[in-house]
Chain A
Amino acid sequence: MKEKRDLKIQAIENGTVIDHIKAGEALNVLRILGISSAFRATISFVMNAPGAAGIKDVVKIEGKELSVEELNRIALISPKATINIIRDFEVVQKNNVVLPSYVEGVVRCINSNCISNSSEPIKSKFSVLQSEEEGVTLRCLYCEHVISENIAENLL
Chain B
Amino acid sequence: MKDFSREEIDYVLDTAEKLEPVARGEERSRLLDGKIIALLFFEPSTRTRLSFEAATQRLGGQVLNLGAVEASSVMKGENLADTIRVISNYADLIVLRHPLDGSARMAAEFASVPIINGGDGSLHHPTQTFLDLYTIRRESHLEGLKIAMAGDLKYGRTVHSLCHALSLYGAEITLVSPPELRMPQEIVRDLQKNKIKIRETDSLEKIIGDVEVLYMTRVQRERFPDPEEYEKVKNRLRVTGDLLKNADPSLKILHPLPRVNEISPEVDSTPYACYFEQAFYGVPTRMALLALATGVIE
Contact = CB atoms under 8 A, between A and B. Distances in A.
B101 A120 contact: no
B156 interface: no
A115 B79 contact: no
B80 interface: yes
A119 B109 CA distance: 16
B102 interface: yes
B165 to A, nearest CB: 15
A34 B106 CA distance: 25
Interface in A110-156: 111, 113-116, 118-122, 140-146
Q: For chain B, which range describes its interface: under 10, 10 to 19, 20 to 34, or 35 or more residues? A: 10 to 19
A143 B121 contact: yes
B109 A114 contact: no
Given A113-B122, A115-B106, A122-B109, A143 B101 contact: yes
Contact of A120 (B2, B80, B120, B122): B80
A104 to B, nearest CB: 12
B101 A119 contact: no
Interface string B101-125: 1110110010000000000111100
A120 B81 contact: yes
Contacts of B109: 122
Give the dominant DSSP class at B's interface: mixed
A145 B121 CA distance: 12
Contacts of A143: 101-102, 121, 123
B100 interface: yes
B106 A113 contact: no
A146 B120 CA distance: 17
Given A141-B105, A142-B105, A118 B123 contact: no
A42 B242 CA distance: 78
B44 to A, nearest CB: 18
A112 to B, nearest CB: 9
Contacts of B98: 115
A128 B214 CA distance: 37
Given A122-B109, A142-B106, A113 B81 contact: no
A122 B102 CA distance: 12
Nearest to A109: B102
Given A120-B106, A122-B109, A114 B81 contact: no
Contacts of B122: 113
Contacts of A146: 186
A21 B238 CA distance: 57
B123 A115 contact: no
B79 A113 contact: no
A113 B121 contact: yes
Contacts of A114: 100-102, 121
Nearest to B102: A142
A142 B120 CA distance: 10
Contacts of A141: 102, 105
Nearest to A117: B100
B79 A120 contact: yes
B101 A122 contact: no
A113 to B, nearest CB: 5
B105 A121 contact: no
30 contacts: A113-B99, A113-B100, A113-B101, A113-B121, A114-B100, A114-B101, A114-B102, A114-B121, A115-B80, A115-B98, A115-B102, A115-B103, A115-B106, A116-B102, A116-B106, A119-B79, A120-B79, A120-B80, A120-B81, A120-B106, A122-B109, A141-B102, A142-B101, A142-B103, A142-B105, A142-B106, A144-B2, A144-B102, A145-B101, A146-B186
Interface of B: 2, 79-81, 98-103, 105-106, 109, 120-123, 186
Interface of A: 111, 113-116, 118-122, 140-146
